């Protein structure tokens, strides 16, 4: 089994770091320096890098880490991210330290976004900037419909799947989610817990799919209370779930 560490980077990024049998894999190393410090402190080397999408705060460390450690770099196909030597798309399977990871294409935040899923006893999902605890990524390149379909790939995963998002956005996401669903008891409880954790500078991740299904409005676009909130905000009739997602994403952008 992996030991998984969050390496903090920039103001609110986590570079998730997987350790098994002295092999190390990092996900989305936007900054090489904290990764290098982590490895040097423990006398480890870097075996592989997993990349979810092209944004610089996820890819900025590739070149320097490859120069130092000559590691494998997995990431989205397309040739637009320098340093990737194994290009991946929906349905591909890779092996990391003897554990299989399936690749999902998850466009919405960007068009090239992919996510990594290991279906083991306690399943692992590395979803980059697609799903956050209590929220989802901004739609920089994709459509609400694309994000909706991407998030649906996560909703059906085993409920105990651990969800490793790249950013510590949980508190601000839940503060918004409460606006959408003020009467959601699970959401109110989680926001109180998260506020407490953040006061102590604790990490609120990983989340789980079962938690997200209860508290994340972007996974709850089919729920009557979320549809109603979207209609009240947009002052229009909203019939499809993906339209609900579009409205609440736009609402969050202006929140
Ligand atoms: Zn991004």
* 3-state SS, residue 18: strand
Count of all residues that appear for the chain in the document = 255
Take residue 24 and report the two structure tokens written for it: 């190390």
Judged against a pLDDT cut of 90, whether residue 239 lies above it is answered with: no
Total domain count, the chain: 1
CATH number at residue 99: 3.60.15.10
| pLDDT tens digits, 96-124 | 999 999 999 999 999 999 999 999 999 99
3-state secondary structure 23-43: EEEEECCCCHHHHHHHHHHHC
Give 74's pLDDT tier (boundaries 50, 70, 90): very high
Tell me the two tokens of residue 240. 């499809």
Cβ contact 86:48 at 8 Å? no
The alpha carbon of 57 and the centre of ligand 1 are apart by a number of angstroms equal to 7
Ligand 1 center to 143 CA (angstroms): 15
Q: Residue 142 is part of which domain span? A: 3-253
Instruction: Please state, in angstroms and rounded to a whole number, the distance separating the CA atoms of residues 141 and 70.
Output: 32
- The torsion of the CA quartet 168, 171, 176, 177, rounded to 10 degrees, works out to 90
Question: In this structure, is the dihedral angle defined by the CA atoms of residues 129, 131, 133 and 134, taken in order, positive or negative?
Answer: positive
The token pair at 47 is 């075996």
Q: How far is the CA of 158 from the centre of ligand 1 (A)?
A: 25
Mean pLDDT of the chain: 98
Which residue is listed with tokens 């995963």? 157
Q: For 128-179, what is each residue's pLDDT tens digit?
A: 999 999 999 999 999 999 999 999 999 999 999 999 999 999 999 999 999 9
Distance 54 CA to ligand 1 centre (A): 7
Nearest to 83 by CA among 97, 96, 65: 65
Displacement of CA 17 from its chain's centroid (Å): 14
Neighbours of ion ligand 1 (CB under 5 A): 55, 129
Q: What's the whole-model pTM score? A: 0.98
- 251-255 contacts at long range (C-beta below 8 A, 24 or more positions apart): 251/176, 251/179, 251/180, 252/135, 252/176, 253/138, 255/176, 255/179
d(CA 81, CA 70): 17
Separation of CA 236 and ligand 1 centre (Å) = 30
What sign results for the dihedral spanned by CA atoms 236, 242, 246, 247?
Answer: positive
């Amino acid at each position: 089994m992996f030991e998984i560490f969050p390496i903090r980077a920039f103001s609110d990024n986590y570079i998730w770091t997987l350790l098994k049998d002295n092999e190390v894999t990092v996900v989305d190393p936007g900054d090489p320096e904290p990764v290098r410090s982590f490895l040097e402190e423990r006398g480890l080397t870097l075996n592989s890098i997993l990349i979810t999408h092209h944004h610089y705060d996820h890819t900025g460390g590739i070149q320097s880490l490859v120069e130092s450690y000559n590691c494998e770099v997995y990431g989205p196909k397309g040739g637009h991210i320098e340093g990737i030597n194994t290009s991946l798309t929906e349905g591909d399977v890779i092996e990391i330290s003897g554990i299989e990871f399936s690749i999902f294409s998850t466009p919405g935040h960007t068009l090239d976004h992919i996510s990594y899923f290991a279906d083991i006893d306690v399943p692992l999902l590395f979803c980059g900037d697609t799903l956050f605890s209590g929220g989802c990524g901004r739609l920089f390149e994709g459509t609400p419909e694309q994000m909706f379909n991407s998030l649906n790939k996560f909703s059906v995963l085993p409920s105990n799947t651990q969800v490793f998002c790249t950013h510590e956005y949980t508190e601000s996401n839940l503060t918004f989610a409460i606006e959408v669903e003020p009467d959601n008891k699970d959401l109110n409880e989680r926001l109180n817990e998260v506020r407490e954790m953040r006061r102590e500078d604790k990490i609120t991740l990983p989340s789980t799919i079962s938690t997200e299904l209860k508290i994340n409005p972007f996974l709850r676009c089919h729920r009557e209370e979320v549809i109603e909130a979207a209609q009240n905000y947009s002052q229009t009739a909203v019939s499809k779930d993906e339209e609900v997602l579009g409205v609440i994403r736009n609402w969050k952008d202006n929140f």
